[in-house]
């Protein structure tokens, strides 16, 4: 009779498209049938559940329990239907009864977990998931989430470390790990624990990484580099070890090797961006000092094109602008504008750079383009008018300068420059009357100062 019921169960699975997972566990308990009525009731419970008549399924399975309340499968089946009816308290009782009768069945435990998770009873979920981990190691991620929900960050971090010792962390686990490390940013205990752990396990790369992240988030990049140096000594093949090797290569004037280490670090998305900024700054100084490896620097900047914390290309452009390196300034400011086309500061820096290069055609052309972005910015009209004067396009200069002058508000110095350029344009255009008119206005401005 027992075999007959199990056959009926699987017939029902195929007939109604159910995934009756309770019977999928290895060596499941068979259902003890005492009479044909019990068999019929159980069959009816499965049939009603398959067509989502959960109320009728409950009535049928309760009849089974009345005849045999020692069979855990009946209680588990009752719990599933009660859960679908959102009768959570009753479902918990049913699943707990199944677990009490068979503590080794993962699906009975899973039923309890479903109740607690749906009702957000995370504290009760934790001991259940701890048992489920024995059946499926992937449940450790659920355990981490539960620890995070209940603010047990130390336990969550411990499980995360167990996971990453044998596998690559998922995106969610990486998020939780960073969140924990950020929360514990000033935890002296965390630092000491990591330092001691490194002494005990010098070949565990992740410990060095976590300690470097700790220092980086505390704005102690020097300390982070020291840890990287220790890592390079123990595990020279590590991407994180390249942080230290990069510094060594710069000191030894090995630019090719330094850039290779730099790129390895930049390709590693797990390495903190603050460390990357520090390395890029050191490489920038090296490139400027040696007047070499400009192409490598450009590649390095491209790696950080998506950096949301700082416009790296713009900052490098500013560096070269201050060094009066016109070519490199132009390269990086143009890179910056490709990603941030509405950045007014970058626009004006680029125009100033063209002025420094005496490239007045470029000044005029770009200024006119920028005016489309900022049609009321008087400075842009001035750049265009000034450059057009320099290239002897006086009529066009007059038109642009007169338009721009209307946008000068409470800026006597800029207004004065407009008037001077207008007087020069009219003078070149043989209009002495207009020339004298603008010169007179300029003189009055000077007297007001």
DSSP 172: H
Q: Does the domain at residues 1-119 carry the CATH identifier 3.90.180.10? A: no
Checking if the pLDDT of 338 tops 90, the result is: yes
Contact yes or no for 212/272 (Cβ under 8 A): yes
For residues 296-312, average pLDDT? 93
pLDDT at 9: 43
Query: In this structure, which long-range contacts are made by residues 213-218, counting pairs with CB atoms below 8 Å and at least 24 apart in sequence?
Result: 213/178, 213/181, 213/272, 214/181, 214/185, 214/190, 216/272, 216/274, 216/275, 217/181, 217/182, 217/185, 217/272, 217/274, 218/185, 218/186
More confident residue, 26 or 340: 340
Tens digits of per-residue pLDDT, 355-400? Answer: 999 999 999 999 999 999 999 999 999 999 999 999 999 999 999 9
Cβ atoms of 12 and 44 within 8 Å: the answer is: no
For residue 179 the two structure tokens come to 């969140």
- The reported pLDDT for the residue numbered 224 is 83
Measured CA to CA, the distance from residue 84 to residue 154 in angstroms comes to 35
Residue 21 above 70 pLDDT?
no
448 vs 314 pLDDT, higher one = 314
Q: Report the pLDDT averaged over residues 312-339.
A: 96
Q: What is the pLDDT of residues 198-225, one digit of tens each?
A: 898 888 888 888 888 778 777 787 888 8
Percent of the chain with pLDDT over 70: 90
Can you give the pLDDT at residue 190? 73
Give 120's Cβ-side CA count (13 Å radius). 3
Distance in angstroms between the alpha carbons of the first and the last residue of the chain: 110
> If you average pLDDT over every residue of the chain, what do you get?
85
Architecture of domain 361-449: Alpha Horseshoe (1.25)
Assigned token pair, 329: 């300034």
Q: How confident is the model at residue 169 (pLDDT cuts 50, 70, 90)?
A: confident
Distances from the Cα of 204 to the Cα of 229, 296, 382, angstroms = 15, 32, 61
Quote the DSSP letter at residue 23: G
Confidence (pLDDT) at 187: 61
* Annotated domain spans of the chain: 1-119, 361-449
Same fold, 1-119 and 361-449: yes
In the predicted model, is pLDDT for residue 184 greater than 60?
no
Triad 326, 328, 332: Cα angle to 5°? 115
Q: What is the pLDDT of residues 99-114, one digit of tens each?
A: 999 888 899 999 999 9
181-186 long-range contacts, Cβ below 8 Å, gap at least 24? 181/210, 181/213, 181/214, 181/217, 182/217, 183/153, 184/153, 185/214, 185/217, 185/218, 186/218
Nearest to 265 by CA among 255, 251, 252, 279: 279
* pTM beyond 0.75, yes or no: no
How high is the pLDDT of residue 220? 80
Task: Kindly report, residue by residue over 388-445, the tens digit of the pLDDT.
Answer: 999 999 999 999 999 999 999 989 999 999 999 999 999 999 999 999 999 999 999 8
Structure confidence at residue 35 (pLDDT): 58
Tokens, residue 343: 């950045």
Share of the chain above pLDDT 90, in %: 50
């Amino acid at each position: 009779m027992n075999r007959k019921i199990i056959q009926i169960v699987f017939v029902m699975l195929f007939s109604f498209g159910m995934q009756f997972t309770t019977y999928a566990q290895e060596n499941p308990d068979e259902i003890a049938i005492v009479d044909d009525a019990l068999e019929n009731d159980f069959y009816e419970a499965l049939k009603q559940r398959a067509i989502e008549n959960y109320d009728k399924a409950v009535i049928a399975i309760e009849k089974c329990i009345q005849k045999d309340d020692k069979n855990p499968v009946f209680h588990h089946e009752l719990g599933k239907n009660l859960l679908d009816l959102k009768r959570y308290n009753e479902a918990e009782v049913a699943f707990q009864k199944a677990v009490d009768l068979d503590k080794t069945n993962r699906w009975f435990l899973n039923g309890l977990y479903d109740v607690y998770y749906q009702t957000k009873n995370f504290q009760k979920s934790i001991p259940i998931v701890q048992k489920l981990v024995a059946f499926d190691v992937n449940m450790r991620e659920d355990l981490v989430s539960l620890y995070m929900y209940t603010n047990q960050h130390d336990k969550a971090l411990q499980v995360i470390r167990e996971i990453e010792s044998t596998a690559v962390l998922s995106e969610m686990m990486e998020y939780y790990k960073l969140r924990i490390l950020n929360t514990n940013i000033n935890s002296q205990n965390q630092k000491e624990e990591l330092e001691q752990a490194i002494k005990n396990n010098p070949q565990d790369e992740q410990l060095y990484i976590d300690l470097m992240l700790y220092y980086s988030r505390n704005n102690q990049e020097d300390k982070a580099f020291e840890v990287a140096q220790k890592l390079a000594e123990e595990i020279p093949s590590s991407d994180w070890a390249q942080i230290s090797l990069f510094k060594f290569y710069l000191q030894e004037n090995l630019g090719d090797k330094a850039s290779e280490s730099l790129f390895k670090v930049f390709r590693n998305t797990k390495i903190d961006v603050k460390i990357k900024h520090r390395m890029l700054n050191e490489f920038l100084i090296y490139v400027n000092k040696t007047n070499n490896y400009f192409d490598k620097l450009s590649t390095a900047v491209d790696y950080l094109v998506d950096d949301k914390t700082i416009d790296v290309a713009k900052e490098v452009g500013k560096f070269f602008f201050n060094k009066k390196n016109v070519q490199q300034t132009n390269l990086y400011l143009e890179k910056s504008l490709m990603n941030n086309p509405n950045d007014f500061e970058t626009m004006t820096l680029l125009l100033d750079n063209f002025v420094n290069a005496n490239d007045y055609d470029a000044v005029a052309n770009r200024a006119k383009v920028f005016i489309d972005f900022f049609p009321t910015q008087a400075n842009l009209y001035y750049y265009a008018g000034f450059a057009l004067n320099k290239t002897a396009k006086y009529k066009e200069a007059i038109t642009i300068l007169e338009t721009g002058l209307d946008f000068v508000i409470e800026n006597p110095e800029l207004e004065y420059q407009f008037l001077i350029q207008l007087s020069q344009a009219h003078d070149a255009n043989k209009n002495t009357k207009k020339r004298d008119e603008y010169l007179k206005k300029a003189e009055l401005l000077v007297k007001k100062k």
